[in-house]
Every structure is written in C-alpha cells, then in structure tokens.
Chain A
Amino acid sequence: MSKTILEIKDLKRDFQMGVETVHALRGINFNVETGEFVTIMGSSGSGKTTLLNILGCLDQPTIGNYFLDGVDVKKLTRDELAQLRNRKIGFVFQSYNLLPRTSALENVELPLLYNKDVSVSERRERAMHALESVQLADRSDHTPSQLSGGQQQRVAIARALVNEPVMILADEATGNLDSRTSYGIMALMQELNQTHGKTIVFVTHEPDIASFSSRTILLRDGMIQKDTKNEKPRSAKQVLAELPVTDDYKI
C-alpha cells in the first residue's frame, strides 16, 4: 500500500530582484508516493534549484502548499524546518559537502548530533550500519582527502541514510563524477530504492541518469512540461557490467 510522501499543490515561488519580480515557479502540482524514484530534469533557469530548495525545506513557497509526510511545511518556523530536515530528509549534494579532516564515520554521524533522541552508542552503531550499506565500512576512519570522488559521494549517501529519512533528495549527485562512477552511484541508488524501499528525488540535467528512475518530471520556465512514468527503468548494475573494462578500471 503506497502512501503519498510529497504533495505539492499549485506551488508558486517569486523572488523580488529590486523592482522586478522573478517568477521562478509558476504553479506546480504533483505527488510522490513512497518507494518512487523520481528524477527532476530541466535546463538551467527552469526552476529546478528553486523546487529542490522547497522540497528540501530550505525555502518556502510564496503561494501554494507543500506537504511533506503529511506536514504542511508552510506553517513551520525556521527551527521547526531544521528539525523536519533532520528527521525526514537526507541530502546528497553535487560537491559531497563532507567536513574536511574528519573521518568518514564522523561525517556520517553528523545528522545524528542534531537529534537529541539518539544516544552516543546508538549514533556510532547507526553510522557504522549506514557505511556498511554503501560498502564503505572498511574506510570508516578515512578522511575525505583519502577517498576517491565516488567513495566520498557514497559517504555522503550514508550520511543521508543515517537518520532514516522518508526521502533522499539528491542534487546533481553524479555531476562531479565520471560515467563509470556515476553508474556505480546510480546502482547504489537503485538498490536503496528497490531493496530498501527508499523514496528518492533526484535532480539532474542528464537524460542518461534520468533513464534509471521510475518517473521523470521535466521542468521548463517554472512549469511542469512533462511528467512521465518510466515503466522499465534501466538497471544501472547491468549497464555497469556491460561497460567495456579498461586497464584503468581494473581493481
């Protein structure tokens, strides 16, 4: 039985730039159910980033409503938004945003530091568990500078998972990675989506990446241009296996 996680109703977002008003989002409607893997696509200036900020509870709509897991985000204060982000959303950024000179394990622990209900021992345990699910348990004491780009992004994904969010929100998460590593990350995302039932909203501008998701929303000029279900998403694992193996990538 699937449940609606995201509910967006007639959402508009305006920015005041001096005397001019910029309409970044001009009325958007869509719902996301649990277990969906949605990619949001669009060229630059299409309102992708604005939508992402609102979905991530970093920004609030000017007009319209946004319900995240049944909570009306518009009514929340700054501190309540912070708490909501902490409990319900796992962020994955293009540039990883890991704390430098801090071990992978401590980076993964970070969201739990802002959760009062988690004890020190539980924190460590859950962080370790999250690292295991991205196959980096053996690198837990490595600092970001000792990890490859793909590994850093997997640490970031572990960090997004550690709070057991209802939704993972990825912002161009493969943008800084080569195609092989990107497929690796997408394979991990698919695994999390299919095996663990995580809802994923993935913002990207690469159609190639979007083909791995179960649904694609295409934005244009602040409106939804296309909202298509992808009945047969490609398997990233399979694509990865079919890539020609070169000496560079041999382990």
Chain B
Amino acid sequence: MDILNLIRIAYRALQRNKLRAFLTMLGIIIGVAAVIAMVAIGQGSKQSIHDQLSSMGSNMLTVSPASNLNGGVRIAGSSFQSLTQKDIIALQKQVQYITEISPSITSRGQAINGALNWPTSMQGVSPSYLDIRKLTLKDGIPFNENDVTTSAKVCLIGQTVIDNLFPGGENPIGKVIRFNKIPFQIIGILNPKGQNAFGQDQDDILIAPIGTVQKRISATIYYQNIYASAANENVTDAAVTEMTSILRESHRLRSNEDNDFTVRTQAELINTLSATSGLLTVLLTVIAGISLVIGGIGIMNIMYVSVTERTREIGLRMAIGARGTDIMLQFLMEAILISITGGVIGVVLGMVSTWLVTATLGWPTIVSESSVVLSFIVCAVTGIFFGYYPAQKAARLDPIEALRYE
C-alpha cells in the first residue's frame, strides 16, 4: 500500500466525521497558535527590554584613577591624577573593540539665571559622550569638536536645572546662565533620564565641552574619568583587557607595578539582560510543551474512541486483505493528518493573532522562523507519538471478533 493511498484512506475516514476531526484538531491549533503568538510577543518584549537596557548604556566602560599608595597612606582614587589627554590619544589610536571615547571632569557649583540660582554640577565631556551614555536632546543642538578646542562657553541643560532656573516655562535655548560666575549659552535641552539605580537625579546637570570645563572652571590637565562604548555587550570583556593594556603602556607601568587606574563595566546590567532573556525562553518552552502535550492527549483520546467505534470496519478491512501494518498505518496517518493540519492552521492563526496584538495593542512582536518550524515539527511528532498506541490497538484486533463486534 503506497503512501498516497494511505493518505487518501485516512482523509476519507476523517471526512466522514468532520466536526470531530476539527474539534480534535482544535487542541493542536490552539496549542500551536499560542506557542507562536507567545514566542512572538516574548521575542518582541525581549527585544524591547534589550533595547531599553542598551539605552542605559550596558556596553559602557568607565575608567577611573585607582587608589594608590603615597608614602604608606592610601589615597582615594578620585583624588589621584593619572588620566590625561595622552591616554585618550593612545586609546583612540589603538582600540579595536571600542567605538566611542570621552574624557570627563565634573565640577560642582552654583548656576544662576537672573534672580534664581540652583546648586548643580557641570560635566565637561567630548561630543561623543552623548552617544556613550545614550543621552538625547529634546531640543536644540549638541556642541561639537570645535567647541571643545575653542573652549566655547556653551552648555546642554538637564530638566531639573530648567525647572529651577526657568520656572515660568520659558524656552531656555539661547539664554545665558552663569555657572561659577562664567556665562554659558544654553544650546540644547537634554531628554530627562530620571534617577539612576542609586537614587541620584541624572537630570540635575549641565554638560559643557571638556576644554571649557578644564580651562575655565577646574583649571586642570587631568581627567576624572574616561567613558567608552564597547562595540556591543558581548565584547565588553575584550574591550576591558584591551583598554587596560593600552593604558598601562601609556602610563609606562612596569610589569610588576599595579594598575593606577581601574576599568569597570556595567556587569550588572549585562547580567540582568541575559537573565531576562533566559527566563523568557524557559517560560515559553514550558508553555509550548504543556499545550502541545494537551493537544496530543486529545488526539490520543479521540483515536481510541475512533478505533473502538470502527471495530467492525477494521474487521472488514482485515477480512478483505488488510494486514495489521496497513491498519496501523491508516490510523497513524489519521493522527498525523489531524496534527499536521492542526499545525498548519495553528501557524496561520498564531501569525494572524500576533499581527492583531501588534495592530491593536501596539505591543512589539517578532515572529521567529524557528518557533514556526519547531512547533510544526513538534506537531508531527505529537501525532506519531500519541497516534501510535491507538493504531497499534487497532492493528492487533482479531478480525473474527472485530467483525462480530456490536
């Protein structure tokens, strides 16, 4: 008996009981559709969580001066002066895994606009700092390299400072405020970032070109920090190693000397990222497994009913020459037809419902090919697995008894 014949026999048998075949299929349909929609929603939210965590700068590296011994007294790293423009130039020349570098100096002081004043910090950085920290402007323009070299008296302003210096809601762009008595023209407004993990207000800040802060406010040639972006989260460790060796060379450290700086990563963020996606994957796999097993049990149940109900038919088929194998393959094929047809409908339904979720709720979704292929394969396997026992029961019937079955 060839396969086409088998499919035809199975198809005709299913056709004789369309509603029941459909209801049995429904378990598989819902299972597969749920898996595909779930995975799509899961993948979508995973992607958006990933994007959000990235926007917090998960690939950011921070170089700070290390604490050091000075005549037996340990000096706090922050007061130690080791990072200079020479390091920046060395890094810029040699790095592979790093895309952006910015030095940074922060100075606290009083910002004044007319009669209003507000204590805040001014951070001097290079233009690439905005990219490294994923800062964006709500309005205005960022400063450029030229502003850094000419020590231009321009700055970007954070929302908290605006609220305190411009309470009337007037547009601060183009206005001149004074910071530590030096006038700065506001050229851009930063998008609010809110608090960081330690409760610090990240919007209470003025950002100015590094040259300006270095020369006009802090009067120093040293940097407090160097910020850098690794190409992505996965190469941060490589980037750390790379930066360390470049800086050691730049600082002329002998091999027996400790680093006079530390390079830190956003390890916590990266861990959160991988933990989140790992959890989602496990959750979805479990749901997929459960729903398909339930669908499979439905198939098994209905196939048992079907075998019992069609005992006489089985007896007849055996009497006119069907072998046990033929009967088994027929029932197995019915189970596979149910599960595969259910699988196809489920895939379509899953995609449609995914599309609906995006269209109506605006949730981000990604239908991954692997989830479609996988749930389809699982379907076929489910059909074979749960169809096998009823089919075997049918094949083992005694034709004499089957023919006399009432």
Which A residues are closer than 8 A to B by beta carbons?
53, 56, 58-59, 78-79, 82-83, 85-87, 91, 93, 97, 99-102, 106, 110-111, 113-116, 159, 163
Are the CB atoms of B321 and A115 closer together than 8 Å? yes
A190 CA to B72 CA in the complex, in Å?
A: 124
30 A-B pairs (CB sep. < 8 Å): A53-B400, A56-B319, A58-B319, A78-B323, A78-B324, A79-B324, A82-B322, A82-B323, A82-B326, A83-B321, A85-B321, A91-B319, A97-B312, A97-B316, A97-B403, A99-B313, A99-B316, A101-B15, A101-B16, A102-B12, A106-B12, A110-B317, A113-B5, A114-B1, A114-B317, A114-B320, A114-B323, A115-B321, A116-B1, A163-B321
Q: Which listed residue (B15, B312, B321, B403) contacts A82, Cβ 8 A?
A: B321
Q: Which listed residue (B9, B12, B312, B320) contacts A91, Cβ 8 A?
A: B320
Residues of the A chain whose Cβ atoms lie less than 8 Å from the Cβ of B326: 82, 114
A173 CA to B306 CA in the complex, in Å?
A: 27
Residues of the B chain whose Cβ atoms lie less than 8 Å from the Cβ of A116: 1-2
> Does B27 make an interface contact (CB < 8 A)?
no
Size of interface on B: residues with Cβ below 8 Å to A: 24
Main SS at interface, chain B: helix
Are the CB atoms of A58 and B399 closer together than 8 Å? yes
Residues of the B chain whose Cβ atoms lie less than 8 Å from the Cβ of A114: 1, 317, 320-323, 326
- Contact pattern, B 238-252, Cβ under 8 Å of A = 1, otherwise 0: 000000000000000
Residues of the A chain whose Cβ atoms lie less than 8 Å from the Cβ of B312: 97
Are the CB atoms of B320 and A79 closer together than 8 Å? no
Are the CB atoms of B323 and A79 closer together than 8 Å? yes
Residues of the A chain whose Cβ atoms lie less than 8 Å from the Cβ of B324: 78-79, 82
B319 CB to nearest A CB, Å = 5
Residues of the B chain whose Cβ atoms lie less than 8 Å from the Cβ of A113: 1, 5, 9
Residues of the B chain whose Cβ atoms lie less than 8 Å from the Cβ of A163: 320-321
A114 closest partner in B (C-beta): B321
B320 closest partner in A (C-beta): A111
A21 CB to nearest B CB, Å = 19
Q: Which listed residue (A53, A59, A86) contacts B320, Cβ 8 A?
A: A86
A241 CA to B136 CA in the complex, in Å?
A: 104
B140 CB to nearest A CB, Å = 77
B338 CB to nearest A CB, Å = 18
Residues of the A chain whose Cβ atoms lie less than 8 Å from the Cβ of B320: 85-86, 91, 110-111, 114, 159, 163
Residues of the B chain whose Cβ atoms lie less than 8 Å from the Cβ of A83: 321, 323
Residues of the B chain whose Cβ atoms lie less than 8 Å from the Cβ of A106: 12
- Contacts A78-B323, A114-B1, A114-B321 aside, 8 further interface pairs with beta carbons under 8 A come to A82-B322, A82-B323, A82-B324, A82-B326, A83-B323, A86-B322, A106-B12, A113-B9
Would you list which residues of chain B between 315 and 354 have a CB under 8 Å from chain A? 315-326
Q: Which listed residue (A79, A85, A93, A110) contacts B325, Cβ 8 A?
A: A79
